[in-house]
Chains A and B, each alone.
Chain A
Amino acid sequence: MAKREEYIEKEKKEKGKKLFGIFPAQYPREILWAMNVLPVEIWDPPLEVIHANAHLQPYICSVVRLGLELILQGKCEGLDGFLFPHTCDSIQNLSSIVSDYLGVKEPCYFFYHPKSPYQDSSRVYYLKQLKGLVSRLEKQLGPLDSSQLKHRVQQGQEVAHVVKQLYDLRVQGELEASNADFYRVVRRGEYLSPDDFLPLLEEFLAAAKGSAHGGPAVIMSGVLPNPKEILTLLDELGVRIAHDDLLNCSRRLLVPPSRADDPFEALTESYFAMPPCTTKDSSVSERVNDLLAKVEQSNAKGVIFYMVKFCEPELFDVPQLTGELRKRGVATLLIDSELNQNLSGQLATRVEAFVEMIS
């Protein structure tokens, strides 16, 4: 399959798709698909930070810093718009810097999703937010075809279904793919159209079915598996990431299906049934229960909290989560890292020591 840049370029030129740069994390991708937009997610572009430091203080996470850098280096010029979901304070302010201060010519959209604990008002609000987003997009992209939306919602559910099968097999130790391969494939959904992502997932599922090696299993929690070296290191140590609680993976890919006929209702129902997440203010107890369930299902021996430095939403929960897990005999490891930086020798040693402990 073509590389990310080539693929995106081709989608634009050959299929006439509009391209939107999407900042983390949760957004109704089906609406964009239905409006002939290819959402291209911006999580961890491999760049050296040159310009972004003139706009951001040193204590801001590298997801935000790299995303801004991508824009400042002019690498987003082929895009037709940006979408900023309301993920955290940093993304919130970044959205305003980009839209209000940098004078980018592409339209910027913002999507606010209600925070937990959810009430009836949250559901009503979310549904209207979806429709509100559509009407704003329609001004740029023309009217939404409701049958297209229905089709894309259905397709979104199919994608989620295959992703769930992959995760289930991993939990049961019946997927022989390495950690690195698993996440490489899963993360291609960050820019592939579902028309291409779905077959890729199916192919991978068929090819990777098989007994996983017998090493210990762990759960990985955090924002995203970057630097990738952590995955390779775990592979080398014979450790399988049997499940994850990563913001850019299971927390938003394991979308529970909905039977609702109306596509907006279906999107709403799925949204509120998603796994707990810091960026939605899920309670500590919900997160503890979710992690414990994952540990139990997969027989994992430990949880690795793989933090992006300065990520407040994640860092606040960690002490109570690790406390509760340890009380129940689950080992934990906390790693703080910057994106795209090689694993230091010291960090690798800590991972090795942890693996030794759980083996």
Chain B
Amino acid sequence: MYLIKNLQYHFMKDLGLPALMRFSQKTKKRRPKKLDTCFGPPLKSTGRLKEVMTRHYFLSRYAAGARPVAWVTSGAPVELLRAFGFYTFYPENHGALCGAQKVGSELCEVAEGEGYSQDLCSYARIDLGVCFSGRTPVGKLPKPDLLFASNNICQTVVYWYKVLAHHWKVPLILFDTPYNFEDITNNDISYMVGQLEEMIPVLEEVSGKKFNYQRFQDVIRVAKEASLTWGEVLATMKARPAPMTIFDAFGHLAPIVSLRGLPVALNYYRVLLNELNDRVKKGIGAITDERKRLMWDNIAIWYKVRDLSNLFAERGMNFVAATYTNAWAETISYLDINHPFESLAKAYSLVILNNNLNHRLELMERLIKEYRVDGLVIHSARSCTPYSVGQYDIKRLLMERLGVPSVVIEADIADSRVFSEEQTRTRLEAFFEAMEA
């Protein structure tokens, strides 16, 4: 059985899928795109991004049975799993995709029908909705052999993955990252290193493969390079005009989240970086008239990315920085192939959401200065307590310290039912006025 599945998986990966993609390219009707005058020419790399991610989701249909499959949270140290050849699936990324395709709310409703409160994170509800109904815009999700979670982004993922563990009857590995109320301690680091070492026998058992230290180091090297390149991609937006917008970056984030540690992600970001550097050289901006530069706080409102992108671009306002996109570039420089376990512990536990709010405030101040930001849009995401609690104070303090105007949009990441068009419009109109004052 394993042999057949494996053959099928490799056939699709190496022959079937490339052929299918070529075919779909050829048959795609080439309708002339209506170009919005507010925007610069579209990024060519976006086509490549679609290919990379389509391939990833398409292959997931063939992964179960052919490769050990792990469902992984966005902040978990996936590098360790890659060393065992796991096919990794990211429910959060899939949740964002469902949100962007505007099917998030109906999947949430499936979970709510099974008793999951509407007050829970919508990524979790979407994922549970998919588990209960089997419905997903990507066709089919691979059944997990293992669940791998880290609470460095929230405790929610652990509650959610416990539900999955009970549902799928598979083991759950938790990478427990103590919250940095103050500075990280040696005790915290030893604890995390100890956990990583304790995971190895479990991973060997689930994957049927022996741990290969050399391979692990290789993965770490590729992951670090990809994250650094992602950091450079974001840094191109320091240019005026910025060659892309944060709304583009929300999309281009997918490989660093879902394919971190694989060469495909690194290669992709090299291509993207070249294109952006070229645009900077030529002075091509993401929007044609970049009058104001903004920063975004929190996860995207996936079902509104396009609308918001248009709304701001029409006013000559471009988002050039975000705490969210920055999260996958911020700490990866800690990775060190000579001290893989310690460095993984630091890189993953020092991420924005696992740090105290002073750290976040300082980070935002730095981004505002480096990216020459004129205003801030704060998404208070109903789904996400750790990202959202503290934002009202951040808003106040940034105004006091830097005089940066800001607005809070009360919304959600993927459940459009809680989005109020009217309230958002009113708040944004007031913000636009303040920006022009």
Please give, as numbers and ranges, the residues of chain B lying within 8 Å of A93 by CB-CB distance.
Answer: 357, 385-386, 389-390
Q: Mark A315-356, 1 if CB is under 8 A from B, else 0.
A: 111111011000000000010100000000000000000000
Please give, as numbers and ranges, the residues of chain B lying within 8 Å of A100 by CB-CB distance.
Answer: 356-358, 361
Q: Is A211 on the interface with B (CB-CB < 8 A)?
A: no
Contacts A101-B390, A132-B185, A278-B159: A284 and B165 contacting too (C-beta < 8 A)? yes
A112/B198 in contact, CB under 8 A = no
Closest residue on chain B to residue A110 by CB atoms: B181
Q: Out of B162, B178, B181, B194, name the residue touching A281 (CB < 8 Å).
A: B162
Q: Out of A122, A281, A315, name the residue touching B119 (CB < 8 Å).
A: A315
Contacts A95-B181, A97-B393: A315 and B163 contacting too (C-beta < 8 A)? no
Please give, as numbers and ranges, the residues of chain A lying within 8 Å of B197 by CB-CB distance.
Answer: 121
Please give, as numbers and ranges, the residues of chain A lying within 8 Å of B159 by CB-CB distance.
Answer: 278, 281, 312-313, 316-317
Please give, as numbers and ranges, the residues of chain B lying within 8 Å of A119 by CB-CB distance.
Answer: 194-195, 198
Contacts A89-B154, A96-B356: A316 and B390 contacting too (C-beta < 8 A)? no
Q: Is B213 on the interface with A (CB-CB < 8 A)?
A: no
B393/A281 in contact, CB under 8 A = no
B389/A90 in contact, CB under 8 A = yes
B158/A115 in contact, CB under 8 A = yes
Please give, as numbers and ranges, the residues of chain A lying within 8 Å of B120 by CB-CB distance.
Answer: 312, 315-316
B151/A125 in contact, CB under 8 A = no
Measured in the bound complex, the distance between the Cα atoms of B380 and A57 in whole Å is 8
Closest residue on chain B to residue A311 by CB atoms: B119
Closest residue on chain B to residue A278 by CB atoms: B159
Q: Mark B378-407, 1 if CB is under 8 A from A, else 0.
A: 001010011011111100010000000000
Measured in the bound complex, the distance between the Cα atoms of B121 and A310 in whole Å is 11
Measured in the bound complex, the distance between the Cα atoms of B133 and A39 in whole Å is 48
B357/A313 in contact, CB under 8 A = no
Measured in the bound complex, the distance between the Cα atoms of B198 and A99 in whole Å is 34
Interface residues of A in 43-85 (CB under 8 A from B): 54-57, 59-60, 84
B385/A60 in contact, CB under 8 A = yes
Q: Mark B185-199, 1 if CB is under 8 A from A, else 0.
A: 101101100110110
Measured in the bound complex, the distance between the Cα atoms of B115 and A75 in whole Å is 39
Q: Is A146 on the interface with B (CB-CB < 8 A)?
A: no
Q: Is B123 on the interface with A (CB-CB < 8 A)?
A: no
Interface residues of B in 194-233 (CB under 8 A from A): 194-195, 197-198
Contacts A121-B198, A317-B162: A59 and B382 contacting too (C-beta < 8 A)? yes
A89/B385 in contact, CB under 8 A = yes
Interface residues of A in 189-207 (CB under 8 A from B): none
Q: Is A86 on the interface with B (CB-CB < 8 A)?
A: yes
Measured in the bound complex, the distance between the Cα atoms of B31 and A14 in whole Å is 84
Contacts A313-B155, A316-B160: A117 and B185 contacting too (C-beta < 8 A)? no
A114/B114 in contact, CB under 8 A = no
Q: Is B182 on the interface with A (CB-CB < 8 A)?
A: yes
A89/B389 in contact, CB under 8 A = yes
Please give, as numbers and ranges, the residues of chain B lying within 8 Å of A316 by CB-CB distance.
Answer: 116, 120, 124, 156, 159-160, 162-163
B181/A99 in contact, CB under 8 A = yes
Q: Is B176 on the interface with A (CB-CB < 8 A)?
A: yes
Q: Is B174 on the interface with A (CB-CB < 8 A)?
A: yes
Q: Is A129 on the interface with B (CB-CB < 8 A)?
A: yes
Measured in the bound complex, the distance between the Cα atoms of B188 and A54 in whole Å is 33
A55/B392 in contact, CB under 8 A = yes
Measured in the bound complex, the distance between the Cα atoms of B121 and A311 in whole Å is 12
Q: Is A297 on the interface with B (CB-CB < 8 A)?
A: no
A57/B179 in contact, CB under 8 A = no
Please give, as numbers and ranges, the residues of chain B lying within 8 Å of A319 by CB-CB distance.
Answer: 114-116, 163
Q: Out of A121, A309, A312, name the residue touching B191 (CB < 8 Å).
A: A121
Expressed in whole angstroms, the minimum distance between the Cβ of B305 and any Cβ of chain A is 22
Expressed in whole angstroms, the minimum distance between the Cβ of A135 and any Cβ of chain B is 11
Interface size on A, residues (CB 8 A): 54
Please give, as numbers and ranges, the residues of chain A lying within 8 Å of B361 by CB-CB distance.
Answer: 100
- Majority DSSP secondary structure for residues of A touching B: helix
Q: Is B417 on the interface with A (CB-CB < 8 A)?
A: no
B386/A92 in contact, CB under 8 A = yes
Q: Is B336 on the interface with A (CB-CB < 8 A)?
A: no
Q: Out of B165, B167, B194, name the residue touching A121 (CB < 8 Å).
A: B194
Q: Is B117 on the interface with A (CB-CB < 8 A)?
A: yes
Contacts A99-B181, A110-B182, A121-B194: A94 and B389 contacting too (C-beta < 8 A)? yes
Expressed in whole angstroms, the minimum distance between the Cβ of A169 and any Cβ of chain B is 33
Contacts A55-B393, A92-B179: A312 and B198 contacting too (C-beta < 8 A)? no
Contacts A92-B179, A312-B120, A319-B115: A283 and B165 contacting too (C-beta < 8 A)? yes
Q: Is A120 on the interface with B (CB-CB < 8 A)?
A: yes
Q: Is B410 on the interface with A (CB-CB < 8 A)?
A: yes
Q: Out of B114, B185, B194, B392, name the residue touching A120 (CB < 8 Å).
A: B194
A124/B390 in contact, CB under 8 A = no
Closest residue on chain A to residue B384 by CB atoms: A89
Contacts A59-B119, A86-B179: A285 and B166 contacting too (C-beta < 8 A)? yes
B389/A97 in contact, CB under 8 A = yes
Q: Out of A86, A121, A284, name the residue touching B166 (CB < 8 Å).
A: A284
Measured in the bound complex, the distance between the Cα atoms of B164 and A284 in whole Å is 10
Please give, as numbers and ranges, the residues of chain A lying within 8 Å of B119 by CB-CB distance.
Answer: 59, 309-310, 312, 315
A89/B194 in contact, CB under 8 A = no
Closest residue on chain A to residue B159 by CB atoms: A316
A312/B155 in contact, CB under 8 A = yes
Expressed in whole angstroms, the minimum distance between the Cβ of B48 and any Cβ of chain A is 36
B187/A129 in contact, CB under 8 A = yes
Q: Is A4 on the interface with B (CB-CB < 8 A)?
A: no
Most buried by B among A92, A95, A322, A336: A92
Please give, as numbers and ranges, the residues of chain A lying within 8 Å of B155 by CB-CB distance.
Answer: 88-89, 92, 281, 312-313
A283/B162 in contact, CB under 8 A = yes
Q: Is A151 on the interface with B (CB-CB < 8 A)?
A: no
Q: Is A105 on the interface with B (CB-CB < 8 A)?
A: no
Please give, as numbers and ranges, the residues of chain A lying within 8 Å of B179 by CB-CB distance.
Answer: 86, 92, 110, 112
A-B contact pairs, 14 of them (CB 8 A): A55-B392, A90-B389, A92-B155, A122-B191, A125-B190, A281-B162, A284-B163, A312-B385, A316-B116, A316-B156, A317-B159, A317-B162, A319-B114, A320-B167
Q: Which 9 residue pairs are nearest across A and B when measured between Cβ atoms? A: A121-B194, A319-B115, A110-B181, A316-B159, A93-B389, A125-B191, A96-B357, A284-B166, A100-B358
